[in-house]
Structure 1
Amino acid sequence: MGELQQERNQVCTARPRVLLLCSPCMGHLIPFVELARRLVFDHGLAATLLFASATSPPSEQYLAVNATVPDAIDVVALPAPPPDALPPSAPARERAQLAVVSNIPRVREMARALAAETPLAALVVDMVGTPARNVAADLGVPFYMFFTSPWMTMSLFLHLPEIDSRRAGEHRDATEPIRLPGCVPIHAHELPESMFADRSSSTYTGFLSMAKDATGVDGVLVNTFDALEPAVRDGMDGLDLPVHPVGPLVWTRPASVRVDRDHECMSWLDQQPRGSVVYVSFGSGGTLTWEQTAELALGLELSQYRFIWAVKRPHQSSTIGAFFGTKEGEHISLDFLPEGFIERTTGVGLVMLSWAPQTAILGHPSIGCFVTHCGWNSILESIMNGIPMVAWPLYAEQNMNAAMMEVQVGVAVRAKVGADRFIRKEEVANAIRRVMVAEEGERTRRRVSDLRDQSIHALSKDGSSTHVLTQIANTWKCASSK
């Protein structure tokens, strides 16, 4: 009897544990790691992060992130589905969903094992992870979604069933934009790809089903902050679902971390004048065609600005050719760049294949502009470092993000796309100049500098996002003690 009581006392004094389940979308992993880090170090919880892999072995991007996770956070890469489980042409969303669903029994088993050792405080999933709802119900713990994109996208997501029932015809043919409370109007050409598809297609119906499932959670954490998206407060009117802005949660490792400071690009940046370098990256998953990659290279050369370019091997048929990451050593050649480009830009530009220490680069004083695909992580990292952007959206909600950053927030300039969906070298150079030297660029620099200060305050001890996350953590602790 004494040993049993001792075990119970140990459970009662142990830190309540949050179990986080992240789908294989690489853009979700970084904010999930940062959320786990803050729950552990700022709010007195323990954390186990499960990553549902889509590839075997896990990608080099996963390995790079995992190598920096503090020892206090347990990270587990769940096994990927068999390669033949879906046809090669299956959409990324279906592959991500399969990676999660195939691991639900394993998630349940691990959750029960953890609950036997320490109180479970909550199960937190991303938008793909809602099939794990029954795991939370079985264990009697709160079930939350961590939405790693902006509130505007979450608002569209929550309103989609209503929009779907009200609209006739295809969304892509609509002449009137979608208007959400406090958000920039969303025009047809800016819709996420899943809404651009035929409404009878599995791509669209699957997306609509996910939107309906989102209402089955106990609350939503959104990776944004009040000063960036004040609509997150206004937009909750009429929604029964509690929504909590807890961002910006990005990769916050200091640049002194060895893997960053020792990277070749950092010593190169140290030699460049302050604010003189254009950083170009399309995130962990974005890819361009051979022709567009070559045109971008020529545009960088034409701009006559210093640049650092994290480039991926082109993909002719997909803008998300590296959506689930790349294998270590997969890309070893720059044969897709224009002949003589590397030689002509030696000393002016630095080209790196695939992975780059983006947070360290954006935090370097020599960076003056960021050419970005407008993935939400990249936008938040740019804002937190006070870097104005050239917006070059590729997929998912990135066109919406670009519109918001240019029209509503005022920290970006959109590169103009031709009728053939191609961006010419002259426009590449022009967009960079608009940010680097024009009056327009001066306005974006002032605005992004203000937002940088506000983002830092949101995460400070007395900041809005810290306050919100403290309330949620305390709610979870109380629930676990019962």
Structure 2
Amino acid sequence: MGKLQERKPACTERPRVLLLCSPCMGHLIPFVELARRLAADHGLAATLLFASATSPPSEQYLAVAAAAPDAVDLVALPVPPPDALPPGARERERAELAVASNIPRVRELARALAADAPLAALVVDMVGVRARGVAEEVGVPVYMFFTSPWMTLSLLLHLPGIDAARVGEHRDATEPIRLPGCVPIHAHDLPASMLADRSSSMYAGFVSMAKAMKQVDGILVNTTREIEPAVGDGMDGLELPVHPVGPLVWTRPAAEDRGHECMGWLDQQPRGSVVYVSFGSGGTLTWQQTAELALGLELSQCRFIWAVKRPHQSSANGAFFGTQNGEDTSLDFLPEGFMERTRGLGLVTRSWAPQTAILGHPSVGCFVTHCGWNSVLESVMNGVPMIMWPLYAEQNMNAAMMEVQVGVAVRAKVGLDRFISKEGVASAIQRAMVGEEAERMRKRASELREKSVHDLSKDGCATHALAQIANVWKCSSRK
């Protein structure tokens, strides 16, 4: 586990919540924050089990787990054997196997914890929902913590019905899917698993997971009614309580990030003048698209920080499980002369970038993002408008919602094969940084920040929602 030390549960009489997170960086970040809040604010003990899909786990993944406070007990689950994976397994299949292979270990830990102190609940993510049988065996409720927005959850909960009613492939549908309170979901914005042939194992696994999600006792969603007013609409017939408990984002002491080169550079830039560019922990661009993005940044003549990753020709999520030590760290994939021509104008970093600290800096004016939900929430919590550049999963849906419904983003114009030209990059930056449209987005982003911060305050609705759930769990543990 590298520098990360497994934290064993201390003997305690406080009711304990067992959290099981699949090996997805985008899931682990809010799981750590949820565990922290349960332990710090709601009188529960918390044990976080986190699975891994690579051996060894990436340094980035371990760093997220290690960010959990000492009050949260950490248990790293072993990686499944390499021969357990079918050739060409996709990321979701690898994540599912990492959880499924560890269910016996989860059962063993749950029984041991229940013998030591009252066990209150098992909390799983959408991939780990298949471990719900463990909760039944030890007699506790099982809740799902859904780390994507309500709009995506609503789609998944309605998917079995949509699947039964639809004729033909989802990708060929001419009419969008309409869910209560959500923007219409067009075929080209659907997750890849729904765009696959409906006869494929990829699609069948997706529908199976959607059906399993209905078999939990309740759902926590990492969102807020301020961002998604429709949370809870359309639940008739689903018979599942849904609790918006967000936005839960990665919290780190500000002092830990002050030494990073990005922060010193930002201190020297004018207020609201910098474009921050990052495609999250897993997003990757092709060599051609990376070069075009570089030329677009140069063309815009705006100051920028770019947390760049090595291109990946065949996958938009080529770093989904993180990057391994020893990977080539050169910048030979950038256009010739780019670094020299933009010296003083921009900062390119290949090291880990303290994203929450960067977004919270007054010099940052907008965020070019892949629309991963954690990045969207971090931008919202800091009042920063976005340029949406979706790559995979539900990110196209997130982009549509944040632009059309929420009003804090613009989408870069895409051409053939979803390629974005340097002119498209520069144009999107100008729209987000200069003029009336940019001013409207800044005002809306500032309003949304204030409301979201209040949601998480002592008197906020997210805090109250989590307190109510914690009380239910405490009562169940006493029984």
TM-score grouping bracket, smaller chain normalisation: over 0.9
Structure 1 counterpart of 2:222: 223
How do 1:364-375 and structure 2 match up within 5 A? Answer: 364-375=361-372
Q: CA deviation at 1:399?
A: 0.2
Specify the alignment match of 1:3 in structure 2. Answer: none
| Alpha-carbon separation, structure 2, partners of 1:16 and 1:235 | 33
Distance across 1 between alignment mates of 2:372 and 2:229: 20
Q: Is it true that 1:379 corresponds to 2:387 in the alignment?
A: no
8 A contact 1:289–1:314 mirrored in 2: yes
Query: Equivalent residue for 1:289?
Result: 286
Deviations 1:393-439 (A, max 9, x none): 00000000000000000000000100232100000000001000021
How far apart are 1:84 and its partner, in Å? 3.0
Q: Note if contact 1:177-1:186 (Cα within 8 Å) is conserved in structure 2.
A: yes
Q: 2:352 aligns with which of 346, 351, 355?
A: 355
SS in 2 for 1:351: strand
Q: Is the 8 A contact 2:196 2:203 kept in 1?
A: yes
Conserved 8 A contact 1:331-1:354: no
**1:68-217 maps to which residues of 2 (within 5 A)?**
68-217=67-216
2:247–2:377: 8 Å Cα contact kept in structure 1?
A: yes
Displacement after TM superposition at 1:88 (Å): 4.9
Q: Is the 8 A contact 2:432 2:438 kept in 1?
A: yes
CA contact (8 A) 2:317 2:392 kept: yes
Helix, strand or coil at the partner of 1:471? helix
Does the 8 Å CA contact 1:278/1:306 hold for their aligned counterparts?
A: yes
- Partner SS, residue 233 of structure 1: coil
Structure 1 residues not aligned, in runs of 5+: 1-9
Q: Describe the SS at the equivalent of 1:280.
A: strand
Q: CA RMSD in A?
A: 1.2
- Compare 432-441 and 324-333 and name the one that shifted more: 324-333
Take 1:235 and 1:344, find their aligned partners in 2: how far apart are those partners?
53
Aligned AA (2:380): I
Q: Is the 8 A contact 2:28 2:65 kept in 1?
A: no
Q: In structure 1, how many angstroms separate the alpha carbons of the residues matched to 2:63 and 2:425? A: 30
- Residue in 2 that maps onto 1:305: 302
Contact 1:219/1:241, CA 8 A, preserved across alignment: yes
> Is 1:39 the equivalent of 2:29?
no
TM alignment of 1:319-358, pairs within 5 A: 319-358=316-355
Work out whether 1:268 is the aligned partner of 2:265: yes
Identity %: 80
| 1:431 paired residue among 409, 421, 428 | 428
The letter of the residue matching 2:407 is G
The total of aligned residue pairs comes to 470
**Where does the alignment leave 5 or more consecutive residues of structure 2 unmatched?**
1-9
Alignment TM-score, normalising by the size of structure 1: 0.96
Q: For residues 385 and 329 of structure 1, what CA distance do their matches in structure 2 show?
A: 34
Alignment of 1:3-22 (within 5 A): 14-22=13-21
Distance change (3 Å), C-alpha of 1:29 and 1:331: farther
Query: Normalising by the residue count of structure 2, what TM-score does the alignment of the two structures yield?
Result: 0.96
Q: CA deviation at 1:354?
A: 5.0
How big is the shift at 1:353? 1.1
Tell me which of 455, 459, 466 is aligned to 2:452.
455
Match of 1:464 among 451, 456, 461: 461
Aligned to 2:5: none
In 2, the alpha carbon distance for the partners of 1:393 and 1:420 equals: 13
Letter in 2 for 1:383: V
Secondary structure, in 3 states, of the residue corresponding to 1:294? helix
Q: What is the CA-CA distance between 1:344 and the residue it aligns to?
A: 1.1
Q: Would you say the 8 A contact 2:214–2:238 is kept in 1? A: no
Per the TM alignment, residue 67 of structure 1 is displaced from its structure 2 partner at its CA by: 3.0
1:6 corresponding residue in structure 2: none
- 2:413 is matched with which residue? 416
